[in-house]
């Protein structure tokens, strides 16, 4: 049985004042029946860990370097994230793949570094609109999945996020059958590569999840939760999404 997970990606949004949003969530959900994760800017990780002490809400990073330490100005290593109290790290988000030209091989190396540091890697994959319109969605997702997951991946240390690039921050959402098709494909691919353990990986959907569409998305087979960007910034939006997953 896979435990459901809802993860918030705050991206480059968040100062100390925004910790009040997390405190509102932990107050509203004192004993959640689903896993909760928020990945704030790195500057807030340690403070968010302190602010949520005693609650099951987990805190994660949004990227890590493939090396544990060294001369890489501006980068953050997986052991450093762990030291700050993070338990997860988002890797291969489409904004990193676009803004920093990250390749599948780099994402795989980062995921391996995350596993070595004891972090759960949340690996993002997804097609562009051009790729979907060209009928390449499953081929693209399959290639990204194969290339981005290291052999150290297990259902316990890795979560997959299917995020169509064209749905991120746009308000556009695939149809439920389109989501179902890709999640079933990912599930089958995981079984081929990881055998029985493939059934234990959680597969999240990400891309314009909102309170108004969360329940129907969570009803799609093989959707084990969501990775949420914009709607994770305010407790008033994220709370109903958590409630929808809890009821699914």
The residues carrying an active-site annotation are: 93, 163
By beta-carbon proximity to ligand PEP, the closer residue of 198 and 230 is 230
228 binds ligand PEP (CB under 6 A): yes
By beta-carbon proximity to ligand PEP, the closer residue of 117 and 209 is 209
By beta-carbon proximity to ligand PEP, the closer residue of 87 and 213 is 213
SS (H, E, C) the chain: CCCCEEEEECCCCCCHHHHHHHHHHHHHCCCCCCEEEEECCHHHHHHHHHHCCCCCCEEEECCCECCCCCCCCCCCEHHHHHHHCCCEEEECCHHHHHHCCCCHHHHHHHHHHHHHCCCEEEEEECCCHHHHHCCCHHHHHHHHHHHHCCCCCCCCCEEEEECCHHHCCCCCCCCHHHHHHHHHHHHHHHHHHHHHHHHHCEEEEECCCCCCCHHHHHCCCCCCEEEECHHHCCHHHHHHHHHHHHHC
Binding test (CB under 6 A) with ligand PEP, winner from 38, 81, 203, 209: 209
By beta-carbon proximity to ligand PEP, the closer residue of 194 and 201 is 201
230 binds ligand PEP (CB under 6 A): yes
Q: Which segment (22-30, 108-116, 161-169, 194-202) binds ligand PEP by CB under 6 A?
A: 161-169
168 binds ligand PEP (CB under 6 A): yes
- To the nearest whole angstrom, how small is the minimum distance from the Cβ of residue 174 to ligand PEP? 12
Q: Which segment (62-70, 101-109, 205-213, 240-248) binds ligand PEP by CB under 6 A?
A: 205-213
163 binds ligand PEP (CB under 6 A): yes
- Contact residues for ligand PEP, defined by CB under 6 A: 9, 163, 168-169, 206-209, 227-231
């Amino acid at each position: 049985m896979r435990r459901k997970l809802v993860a918030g990606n705050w991206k480059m949004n968040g100062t100390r004042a925004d910790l009040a949003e997390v405190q509102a969530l932990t107050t509203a959900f004192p004993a959640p029946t689903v896993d909760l994760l928020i990945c704030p800017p790195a500057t807030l990780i340690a403070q968010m860990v302190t602010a949520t002490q005693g609650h099951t809400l987990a805190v994660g990073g949004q990227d890590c370097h493939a090396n544990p330490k060294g001369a890489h100005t501006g980068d953050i290593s997986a052991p450093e994230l762990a030291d700050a109290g993070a338990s997860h790290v988002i890797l291969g988000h489409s904004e990193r793949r676009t803004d920093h030209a990250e390749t599948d091989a780099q994402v795989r190396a980062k995921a391996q570094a995350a596993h070595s540091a004891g972090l759960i890697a949340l690996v993002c994959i997804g097609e562009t609109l051009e790729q979907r319109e060209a009928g390449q969605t499953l081929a693209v997702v399959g290639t990204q999945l194969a290339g981005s997951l290291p052999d150290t991946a297990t259902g316990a240390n890795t979560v997959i996020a299917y995020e169509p690039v064209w749905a991120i921050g746009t308000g556009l959402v695939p149809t439920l059958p389109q989501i179902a098709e890709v999640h079933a494909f990912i599930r089958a691919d995981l079984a081929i590569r990881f055998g029985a353990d493939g059934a234990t990986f959680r597969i999240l959907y990400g891309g314009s999840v909102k309170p108004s569409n969360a329940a129907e998305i969570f009803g799609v087979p093989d959707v084990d939760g969501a990775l949420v960007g914009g709607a994770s910034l305010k407790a008033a939006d994220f709370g109903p999404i958590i409630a929808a997953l809890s009821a699914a």
